[in-house]
């Protein structure tokens, strides 16, 4: 399929990730008007003024996260639920937090329809993490923060990996990977990206 060849040409080599992205229909995570562009490598609008990420960026972040089948993963910024579905194909335990109730509700429906493993969507402020389920082996933020949130680093297991876009909200941001060792945090820069900002609190959705 053209979609998978395109991801390969952008440096995605991990066979498990390519398989997961072939198995999860991105079209199911989009509203009708945007469905014709589901397999173009572009971000697209979703409800509540948010966006579903570009497929090659989803693949790149997932590859950097290095998810193994026994990892407990936390995603901040459920959005459409697409990234969570890819993660759920790779491991058995995924928690994802979204501050817009409406997006969380829609994502839950979509994820249930796909009959994936254990994936739970939570409406809440992801910058607070999920203390009752911590520590996590992997944490992925799909909204940009000025700095890596200390609360989330605190919920990452030693030996764990966190991937996130950092930088000011309306500018180009840098994707970074943080590996937590027993003595420190190791940072790797993975290139420029552009995400919506990580905002505090639960959104006041207009029903």
Instruction: State the binding string over 4-43 for ligand SAH (x if CB under 6 A, else -).
Output: ----------------------------------------
Rounded Cα distance between 110 and 104, Å, is 10
Instruction: State the binding string over 42-61 for ligand SAH (x if CB under 6 A, else -).
Output: --------xxxx--------
Closest to ligand SAH by CB, 21 vs 178, is: 21
Residue numbers 58-97 binding ligand SAH by CB under 6 A: 76-77, 79-80, 82-83, 97
Residue 173 contacts ligand SAH per CB under 6 A: no
- Contact between residue 189 and residue 176 where contact means Cβ atoms under 8 Å apart: yes
Residue 61 sits at the vertex; the CA angle it makes with 155 and 114, to the nearest 5 degrees, is 90
Catalytic residue among 9, 53, 56, 80: 53
HSE (CB half, 13 Å, CA atoms) of 39? 11
Residue 137 contacts ligand SAH per CB under 6 A: no
53 is catalytic: yes
HSE (CB half, 13 Å, CA atoms) of 82? 28
Rounded Cα distance between 87 and 74, Å, is 10
Closest to ligand SAH by CB, 147 vs 182, is: 147
């Amino acid at each position: 399929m053209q979609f998978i060849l395109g991801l390969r040409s952008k440096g995605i080599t991990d066979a498990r990730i390519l398989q997961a992205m072939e198995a999860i229909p991105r079209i199911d995570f989009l509203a009708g008007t945007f469905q014709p562009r589901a397999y173009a490598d572009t971000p697209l609008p979703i409800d509540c003024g948010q966006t579903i990420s570009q497929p090659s960026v989803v693949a790149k972040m997932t590859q950097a996260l290095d998810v193994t089948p026994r990892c407990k993963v936390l995603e901040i910024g459920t959005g459409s639920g697409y990234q969570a579905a890819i993660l759920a194909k790779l491991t058995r335990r995924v928690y994802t937090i979204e501050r817009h109730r409406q997006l969380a509700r829609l994502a839950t429906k979509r994820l249930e329809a796909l009959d994936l493993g254990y994936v739970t969507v939570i409406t809440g402020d992801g910058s607070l993490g999920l203390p009752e389920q911590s520590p996590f082996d992997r944490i992925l933020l799909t909204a940009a923060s000025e700095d890596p949130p200390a609360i989330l680093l605190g919920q990452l297991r030693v030996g764990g990996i966190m991937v996130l876009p950092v930088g000011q909200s309306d500018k180009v941001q840098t994707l970074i990977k943080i590996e937590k060792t027993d003595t420190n945090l190791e940072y790797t820069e993975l290139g420029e990206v552009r995400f919506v900002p990580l905002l505090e609190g639960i959104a006041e959705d207009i029903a």
